[in-house]
Amino acid sequence: MQSNLTGFNMRPCSTVMHLLLRCMRRCCRHSHRHSRSRMARRLRQPVNYIRLIFKSLYFNSLTNSEVLLDCILEPVFWMVEVVTRWFGMVFVFLVVALTSSVVFIGYFCLLPLVLQTYSPGWMIWHICYGHWNLVMIVFHYYKATKTPPGYPPKTKNNDVPFVSFCKKCVIPKPARSHHCGICKTCILKMDHHCPWLNNCVGHYNHRYFFSFCLCLTLGCMYCSISGHSLFIDAYNAIDQFRHLEAEKQGVPVTGIGLLIGIVPSEGMAGKVVQVSQPPYTYKDRMFHKSVMYMWVLTSTVAVTLGALTLWHAVLITCGETSIERHINNKEAKRLAKRGKVYRNPFNYGKLNNWKVFFGVEKRSHWLTRVLLPSGHSPYGDGLTWDIYPLKKDMMQV
């Protein structure tokens, strides 16, 4: 009976305890969860606020990875613009100095040689071609640097149709115009800013720029090809001079080229070769060094500038500028995703593009306007553009 009573009293007690414990645990868990959610709620507000401030600095619906990359590279662009602006005259000086040095070598080293050793036919060819090329280079370089590329009107003109608005100049932009960060103005049919010209390449000097590149490439190729055998002779002669000089000082001469005197030779050790007079003069040495300098410089320029000229020739054939190639490629990709084909509105056909570019209006213009120096104005005013499709042949040539 005793044990029954104890059992009866103990059971409700343990049940109550159990209930109390469960209640406490739940309360504890609930308060913990509650405090955690309260903390998160409190934190969420400042985090959202900071995120909003950060997004307000750059976000718009058109932001993509390219815009972000441009933003990141903005300091680099700024540096390039500043350097190009400040060192513009240095680049021009370099072009003039290097070209003059080659011309100087041509007149004082090579021309006497041509007159003495070449047959009359080759003599006439070298004199005529060399001078034509020189005149073309000088004329087109001068015109490309001195001719303003063309600027859109600063005030709103209702007669000029515009396609966008320049945020920096605060003026409406006609078709094909772009803002140049170095010139700090908008340029008509802008191609690029050329540091070697210290000028922008645009509507009014694009032809001079291309002709200059083409003529300089041709001139460098001419020097490189016609001077190749002279370069080989000069290289061998300089090599020989080094041998003779080393022998003069009483050093046993071994090795070739840069290894003269370094590589030992069997049977030569200890022998001293005496040469009383060197069989070459200071003039000989300068002649050979000048030829080597000219060949290395012209060959390097021929390859690098040749590649650039070829690229510009491709762009002209397609009726595009360097900037438009980039824009058109993007547009073509965008339309391709929608199953459409992009057509450049300023592409008038391969031959027509060249005619428009050189301003060829009749057959004789190929000679007078392309192969000879000509200061004629380009086709159109750079503000309004004919849009494809036009009549089949723009100029009957």
Q: Is 351 a residue that touches Zn ion (CB under 5 A)?
A: no
Pairing of strands 164-166, 192-194: unpaired
Q: What whole-number distance in Å separates Cα of residue 81 and Cα of residue 88?
A: 10
Active site residue 194: yes
- Interaction pattern, residues 149-168, with Zn ion; x per rule: CB under 5 A: -----------------x-x
Q: What whole-number distance in Å separates Cα of residue 192 and Cα of residue 325?
A: 12
Q: What whole-number distance in Å separates Cα of residue 183 and Cα of residue 170?
A: 15
Near Zn ion by CB under 5 A: residue from 182, 194, 215, 237: 182
Strands of the chain (E only): list them: 164-166, 171-173, 178-180, 185-187, 192-194, 199-201
Q: Is 200 a residue that touches Zn ion (CB under 5 A)?
A: yes
Q: Is 323 a residue that touches Zn ion (CB under 5 A)?
A: no
Instruction: Find the shortest distance in angstroms from Cβ 183 to Zn ion.
Output: 3
Q: Is 291 a residue that touches Zn ion (CB under 5 A)?
A: no
Q: DSSP assignment of 324-341, as one string? A: HHHHHHHHHHHHHHTT--
Strand partners, 201: 192
Q: Which of 180, 186, 194, 220 is catalytic?
A: 194
Near Zn ion by CB under 5 A: residue from 102, 186, 356, 383: 186
Instruction: Find the shortest distance in angstroms from Cβ 124 to Zn ion.
Output: 42
Nearer to Zn ion, 173 or 288 (CB): 173
Is residue 318 within 8 Å of residue 344, measured between CB atoms? yes
Is residue 88 within 8 Å of residue 195, measured between CB atoms? yes
Q: Is 85 a residue that touches Zn ion (CB under 5 A)?
A: no
Nearer to Zn ion, 172 or 219 (CB): 172
* Interface positions, 241-260, toward Zn ion (CB under 5 A): none
Is residue 137 within 8 Å of residue 219, measured between CB atoms? yes
Is residue 222 within 8 Å of residue 131, measured between CB atoms? no
Q: Which stretch binds Zn ion (CB under 5 A): 197-205, 217-225, 363-371, 377-385?
A: 197-205
Instruction: Find the shortest distance in angstroms from Cβ 34 to Zn ion.
Output: 59
Q: Is 193 a residue that touches Zn ion (CB under 5 A)?
A: yes
Residues tagged active-site? 194
Which residues sit at the interface with Zn ion, rule CB under 5 A? Answer: 166, 168-169, 179-180, 182-183, 186, 193, 200
